[in-house]
Amino acid sequence: MDLTVVVPLLNERESLPILVERLHQVLRGMGVSYEIILVDDGSNDGSWAEVQRAAAADARVKGIRFGRNFGKSPALNEGFIAAQGEVVITMDADLQDDPDELPELRRMVIEGGFDLVSGWKKKRYDPLMKTLPTKLFNWTTRRVSGVLLHDFNCGLKAYRKEVVKSIEVFGEMHRYIPFIAKKEGFGRIGEKVVKHHPRRYGRSKFGFDRFINGFLDLLTITFVFRFGRKPMHFFGAVGTLMFVVGFFSAAWVVGEKLYHLYVLHEMAPRVSDQGLFFVALTAMVIGVQLFTMGFVAELVRRYSPERNVYRVKERIGL
């Protein structure tokens, strides 16, 4: 199969018929074999009924339904698992992404040699309270990840099949798929300016909290990729350093007391009266705790279950 379009959705009943019709028009015009995978992330507005109707009308439309809302990352991950196309394109279901972008995105992957091509909504039809935090988020992500994209959170992206079959998207990590792909060895990442349309139906599913969560996720994914396979290298190193600093600080306090008593033959302040002694003890205790945490993290890493915990309630055509 040439192309798979993965569309995660949540409460997009009005948009789905229009989106599916437009996708068929564009994809038929491309002259490729294709499938459309609609992943319903626990909608409660009748969206699944629209997915069923679209699948009944055309076998190339397939559906996945979650038992409840688990988030965009699990929805994308399940779509990636099911995808069969040599190129996989993701897009949102709210009609803000334009299906006319699909031919060029596919061409950039097939002919341009990119592993991943990310859309850039250069001209956005979003309120200022959403665009300003987005700019800050993208700037920070560029600096931390080293991936020079303008719009990490754009849902319109194209992937070589090997990319989506090699990565796992969990938690809220869908914002950092280019970063994850780069860390997995897929470094040919491109960008394309794409059209962005105003929302026609419903309301945005994202609030201001996504930016706070986004920065926390960035810290998490940076740590996981650097130390996820060797947590003892971080916790053990920091713990050992703190223990050594604490030990020598305590030895200094005790040694100073002994020096006053047996060399200078004078009264020395009590060890327990010196603040440095308690700082040293605290450092030693924290050092032992961090070292133990690193040891436990090594055990957890070796025997951890699957990180994606979600329940698929129903499938169509898969």
**Same domain membership, residue 281 and residue 157:** no
Q: Is 33 a domain residue? A: yes
End of a domain among 227, 250, 283? 227
Q: Is 268 a domain residue? A: yes
Q: Is 308 a domain residue? A: no
**Same domain membership, residue 62 and residue 133:** yes
Model-level pTM greater than 0.75? Answer: no
pLDDT digit string (tens) for 226-285?
776 677 878 888 999 999 999 999 998 888 888 877 877 777 778 777 888 899 999 999
Q: Is 157 a domain residue? A: yes
**Same domain membership, residue 205 and residue 236:** no
* CA 262-268-272 angle, 5° bins: 120
* CA 234-236-238 angle, 5° bins: 65
Q: Is 256 a domain residue? A: yes
**Same domain membership, residue 291 and residue 223:** no
**pLDDT at res. 293:** 86
**Same domain membership, residue 53 and residue 115:** yes
Q: Are 179 and 189 in contact (CB under 8 A)?
A: no
Could you tell me how many residues make up the chain?
A: 318
Total structural domains within the chain: 2
**Same domain membership, residue 244 and residue 190:** no
**Same domain membership, residue 278 and residue 214:** no
Q: Is 317 a domain residue? A: no
**pLDDT at res. 127:** 60
Could you give the count of Cα atoms lying within 13 Å of 108 in the half-sphere of its Cβ?
22
**Same domain membership, residue 236 and residue 141:** no
**Same domain membership, residue 108 and residue 221:** yes
What range defines the domain where residue 118 resides?
3-227
Q: What is the CATH number of the domain that holds 68?
A: 3.90.550.10
**Same domain membership, residue 127 and residue 236:** no
**Same domain membership, residue 253 and residue 154:** no
**pLDDT at res. 123:** 79
End of a domain among 168, 199, 227? 227
**pLDDT at res. 128:** 59
**pLDDT at res. 129:** 61
Q: Is 127 a domain residue? A: yes
The percent of the chain in helix, strand and coil, each rounded to the nearest 5, is 50, 15, 35
End of a domain among 173, 207, 227? 227
Q: Is 289 a domain residue? A: yes
**Rounded CA separation 253/243 (Å):** 15
**Rounded CA separation 242/280 (Å):** 9
| Residue 13 CA to its chain's centroid (Å) | 26
Query: What single-letter DSSP state applies at residue 176?
Result: G
Which regions in the chain score pLDDT beneath 50?
none
**Same domain membership, residue 239 and residue 219:** no
